[in-house]
Every structure is written in C-alpha cells, then in structure tokens.
Amino acid sequence: MGRTYFGTDGIRGMANVEPMDAPFMVRLAMAVGEYFANGRQQRRVVIGKDTRRSCYMLESALTSGFTAAGMDVFALGPMPTPAVALLTHSMRADLGVMISASHNPYHDNGIKFFGPDGYKLSDAAEEEIEAILQSRDLKGEPDRLGWVTRLNDASGRYVEYAKTTLPDRVRLHGLKIVVDCAHGAAYRAAPELLWELGADVVPVGVEPNGYNINDGCGSTATARAAQAVRDCGADVGICLDGDADRIIVLDETGAEADGDQIMALLATKWARAGRLNHSTLVATVMSNLGLERYLNAQGIALERTPVGDRYVVERMRAGGFNMGGEQSGHIVMTDFATTGDGLVAGLQFLALLKESGQRVSELTRCFEPVPQQLKNVRYVAGSLPLEARDVRAAITDGETRLKTRGGRLLIRKSGTEPLIRVMGESEDEALLASVLDDITGAISAVG
C-alpha cells in the first residue's frame, strides 16, 4: 500500500486545510495511538512545535486524539526538532511529534513523527498508520483516557545536553556570534546556549509573532544576519531554520558556507582524528560535485542517497556511518543526535574555529563548487508532467549535452509541494543555463 498523506518528511500542507486541519489531526493521532498500542495500558507521547500560529490548533487537536487513544501527552512548547527527538528517547516515550513546516512560510505546517529510539518513523510504519487511518472506525474507550502534562524545563534539558557535545574545556569566550533563529523554534534556546558557553551573542530573528517565521531571515534568507555580522564586527554568523534542524554559517564578511562546505570541513577533521566511521560521508544527490571531488582527494568516500535527511539517516544506520547531511544545512552526526541538529552542528564548527585560530573565511572554503543551478517549476497537483513526451525528450537531450562536459542533471518532484525541481551542474555555465531553460520550459508547457 502506498502513502497518501506522508511525504519525504512526515505530513505537510497548508494550515487549516486537510490534512493540516483539526479534524484530521484528531483522527491521525488516534490512528497513531492504535499503532503504538501493543496491548499496553500506559503509553506516552511528547509533542513539540515551532512558532507558527497554527501550531496551537494542531497541538490541541493532536492532544485530543492521543488522549482519546489512551496516550499520556507531554507538551514541550516551542522546541527544535532535534530536541523532540532527544527527549522522545530520554523520556522513554513511545512517540515524539514535532509540529513544524521547517523552512516553509507561516501558512504551511507539518507533522514529523519519531519512534521510541529517537529516529524518524520508517516508510513501512507510516504506511501502516495510513492503513489504520483509512480503514477503521477509530473510537476511544471512556475508561482508558490519557492525561496531559506541560513540561516546563524541556528547553533547559536540551540546552544542557547540547553543551556536552563540545570537546572538553572548549568554550566560546572571545567569539562574537550573530545567531539568526528565523523567529522559530530555537528563538530562546540558541542565544541562551551560546551565551552560557561564553560567547558575545547578537540575536536576530528572536521575536516570533506567529506569522514571521522564516520571513526574510534564517537559513534560507541570510541577508539580514549577514548585515548584522558586518555592522557589529562579528566573527561568525549562525543561521538556523524554523525548526532549527538546519544551519548555514556566515563568515566575518557575511558570505555563506552551505551544508556541503560544513560537511567537508567536519568530515576531514573527523577523518584525520580517526573519528569518521569507515572514512565515509553520506550526502544526498543534491550535494555538489565539488564536495565529492574534494572528499575523494582526502581519501574519504561519499555515498549518495535520495533527497531527504531521513534517507541520509537510514543509509548511515545501515552502513554504520556517523556523519551525513544535505547541502541545505541538515548535518547529522549520530555520535550526538538521531536527526539533523543545527545547533549541535554549529557547536562542532565553533569548536574547530576556536581550536584553529583561523578566521571563518579560511575554514569554510574547503573546495570550489562546480557551478550549480536549481529551478523549480510549479505544476497542477495530480498531473504527471514528467511523463509527457516533450518533457522526457528535453530531459534526455539535456543529460546528453551535460554529460559531454562532465556535468550532471537531476530531476525530481518535491516531497512537500507540487513542484518539479530541476538541478544541473557543469563547468560550462552557459550550457547549463540553456539545458535548464529547455527542460523547465517543457514542463511549464504541459502544466
């Protein structure tokens, strides 16, 4: 059976429109509760959220469904996604729930589920939940209702754990750090963590109002943080997304270092210290060819997966690897966390910065990226533009043209929006632009 509601990273959609509405969330929570029942009387779920206004509606609906299904709910409040994963495991919960649409604007929202081990649910588990949701009359029992507790110290638990991921005796005294929290889930935890470690902290994007999450700030819009870095003479900028599982680093001039550059630096340092399992980094098909060439020159293998940090983690677990991530800034280090953690990745970078005595611009230029272009084409939901003859012909022609110049082409559907993502890489930028224009034009023509 396929998946109707679950995509590459949980369930996502426009707030207050099914499936991101209250009635569906009640039914979903009851189905999940039944999936995790296993004949046991006492089950618990932790729920975190980001700062979108719709999170309050969805949290209330999920809480109703879970308690109706007999699950005890621990409400964490605004909390980074990796903190929810951590607390799910440390509190011996059966399930963790994060309400967030990550880097998307406020009018979207989403649900991510974590199992008792702190890892995201598998495709098979999501399919079984959908089968329960669609095939059964979900009813609770009046004598088996769950109860609700608000966990007021959840953020502090996460902050204290994150500190332990720093090497012994490394503190951040002497560093001026701009941290952009995207008006999102880490708006309290991130500045507090960095300040407690001794840094001079300049906070940006820490005034959420329910509508401004990711709005001109955070990891997908770094101009405001870059200006703050320049204005205050900061050493470094740390830009998180709405649920703080991504990081983009800014150097002292405000220039960006994406996930590929951060992974290149960390993987090289870990490999030299004998810490990188099997001398291998796991990344997605979106990571730059320049990263692959650089790692190979260092004697480090690169294994690629489909897009989505869950697929990176699945490959890491299967192969016994301990570092992976995405160009977008998801960095997964299973020595410390079960999912992407922007703050923990930031701490690992800051530790290297302190130890090296170099400027950020010197650390974050590990390789010269191969020119890469990405274009998104919106299509009518339910249509199949990639199956159109003219589109297939344009893709075949583009692949042939790029291959002759050592480039590559990647075409995929977004797992969260009705978009076709067309990405290409080539040293010949004019050829690359021409190929992408031909393909996106063909897709647009068929709708």
Question: Is 409 exposed, middle or buried (CB count within 10 Å of its CB: 0-12, 13-18, 19+)?
Answer: buried
In one letter, which amino acid is 439? Answer: I
Residues with Cβ < 8 Å from 283, sequence gap 6 or more? 260, 263, 291, 302, 303, 304, 305, 312, 324, 325, 326, 327
**Which residue in the list 100, 102, 328, 426 is annotated as catalytic?**
102
Bridge partner list, 401:
none
Cis amide linkage into residue 105, ω under 30° from 0: no
- CA 447 – CA 443 distance, rounded (Å): 6
What count of Cα atoms within 13 Å lies in the side-chain half-sphere of residue 184? 33
Which of 154, 31, 33, 159 is CA-nearest to residue 91? 154
Are 123 and 435 in contact, with CB atoms under 8 Å apart?
Answer: no
Beta-sheet strand order (sheet of 280-284):
301-305, 280-284, 323-325, 331-333
Which of 154, 149, 221 is CA-nearest to residue 181? 221
Task: Determine whether 102 is an active site residue.
Answer: yes
Give the pair of three-digit tokens for residue 381.
Answer: 């939901």
Beta-sheet strand order (sheet of 108-114):
11-14, 108-114, 95-99, 43-49, 71-78, 148-150
Give the pair of three-digit tokens for residue 174.
Answer: 């002497």
Residues with Cβ < 8 Å from 162, sequence gap 6 or more? 193, 341, 343, 344, 347
- Number of other residues whose CB lies within 10 A of the CB of residue 78: 23
Give the pair of three-digit tokens for residue 190.
Answer: 């991130």
Length of the chain: 447
Cα angle for residues 33, 34, 39 (degrees, 5° grid): 110
Catalytic residues: 102
